[in-house]
Amino acid sequence: MSIFVNDRTRVVVQGITGKEGAFHTSQCLAYGTQVVAGVTPGKGGQETQGVPVFNSVRQAVAATGADCSLIFVPPAFAADAILEAADAGVALIVAITEGIPVLDMMRVKRHLATTKTRLIGANCPGIISPGQCKIGIMPGSIHLPGGPVGVVSRSGTLTYEVVHQLTGQGIGQTTCLGIGGDPIVGTDFIDCLRAFEADPETRAIVMVGEIGGSAEEEAAAFIREQVSKPVVGFIAGLTAPPGRRMGHAGAIVSGTNGTAQAKITAMTEAGMHVCRDLTTLGAFCADAFAEVLAC
């Protein structure tokens, strides 16, 4: 099992003929993902990498039964692309695009709340259920199929580091996803934690957070109340100076809000296993998850 996506997920790629879209489509196809359609307005009727291209998501969904959209559309047009995919009724949207204006995302998030569509991202690496499908830009090769660990993170390459270390310890993953580094994202930590808790094959969880906002604190409170599985937490940005945006639009300590220390404290108080040293996170997980890994 896995969360949100599996080997039956049928993907339409919005922006499939762009440089990034084309490259990562080839990588997803190579991993075995069912990429059934692409959308580039004006290029409908063409075919690329054996995938039919349509002018609109509605046409793509009608012709191919796609139920998930992977978005590589440039930031100025990305909010529109997300809304179009939701309008076409896809169940899941994975938005990779970095740099979408925050007011655009605010409207998108509010609108999606009135639909049944789930959005992952934007500004995220996507989602992978190792051995089943890869819907995003992460390197497939570092993942190990078979579970039992679910990984959720705000970042891209930091997630790869974490997964790489898990795999190095022989610890497999059910699903790994990045929720995105922007201030406003579609799916939050709590949505993922709830799904991991409900997934029988996920028996332990790694949550990777960073400075800024209060999503980690809220997630910690949720874990204390509603998550029975062991959770390892890590927070990046202990040395980040206040008032500066650390690459991610959302990673900023404002006044006393959003510090790494406050998040670590909240996670510790919630009974999570807090790892403070990224260089040994894999071994830390092997230790913290020893009980569930044994069975």
Rama region for 255: left / alpha / beta (φ>0; ψ in -120 to 50; rest) = left
**Binding track over 172-211 against another protein, x by CB under 8 A:** ---------x-xx-----------------------x-xx
CB of 272 to another protein, least distance (A): 18
Identity of the amino acid at 33: T
Sole residue written with tokens 């993942």: 143
Q: How far is the CB of 137 from another protein (least distance, A)?
A: 7
Judged by CB under 8 A, which stretch of 36-44, 126-134, 272-280, 285-293 contacts another protein? 272-280
Find out whether the peptide bond into 60 is cis, omega within 30 degrees of 0: no
CB of 110 to another protein, least distance (A): 5
Residues 6+ apart with CB under 8 A from 160: 125, 138, 139, 142
Q: Is 290 one of the binding residues for another protein (CB under 8 A)?
A: no
> CB-based contacts of 30: which residues, under 8 Å, 6+ apart?
140
How deeply is 179 buried, as exposed, middle or buried, from its count of CB atoms within 10 A (0-12, 13-18, 19+)?
buried
Q: Reduced to 3 states, what is the DSSP secondary structure of residue 263?
A: helix
Question: In this chain, which of 130, 148, 172, 213 binds another protein, going by CB under 8 A?
Answer: 213
Question: For another protein, which residue of 17, 40, 155, 173 counts as binding (CB under 8 A)?
Answer: 155
Whole-number Å distance between alpha carbons of 233 and 169:
17
Contact 223, 193 (CB under 8 A): yes
For this structure, is 248 an active site residue?
Answer: yes
Taking the least distance from each CB to another protein, the nearer of 38 and 258 is 258
Applying the rule CB under 8 A, the residues between 30 and 69 that interact with another protein are none
Q: Does 101 bind another protein (CB under 8 A)?
A: yes
* Sheet hosting strand 51-54, strand order edge to edge: 47-48, 51-54, 34-39, 10-14, 68-71, 92-95, 118-121
Which residue, 228 or 279, is less far from another protein as judged by CB?
279
Query: Does residue 256 touch another protein according to CB under 8 A?
Result: yes
Q: Does 137 bind another protein (CB under 8 A)?
A: yes
120, β-bridge pairs: 94
Residue 53 Cβ, how far from another protein at the closest point, in Å? 23
Put residue 210 in one of left, alpha, beta given phi > 0 → left and psi -120 to 50 → alpha.
beta
- Binder of another protein out of 17, 132, 153, 174 (CB under 8 A): 153
**Least gap, CB of 3 to another protein (angstroms):** 21
Among 47-55, 136-144, 199-207, 225-233, which window interacts with another protein (CB under 8 A)? 136-144
Enumerate the H helices of 88-176 as residue ranges. 102-112, 157-168
Q: Rule CB under 8 A: choose which of 278, 286, 287, 292 binds another protein.
A: 278
Q: Using CB under 8 A, pick the residue from 164, 224, 262, 265 that binds another protein.
A: 164
CA-CA distances (angstroms) from residue 154 to 32, 36, 202, 204, 216? 25, 28, 19, 18, 10
| Residues designated catalytic | 248
Q: Which residues are at the interface with another protein (CB under 8 A)?
A: 27, 75-76, 99-107, 109-111, 125, 137-139, 141-142, 153-161, 164-165, 181, 183-184, 208, 210-211, 213-215, 218, 234, 236-241, 243-251, 255-256, 260, 276-280
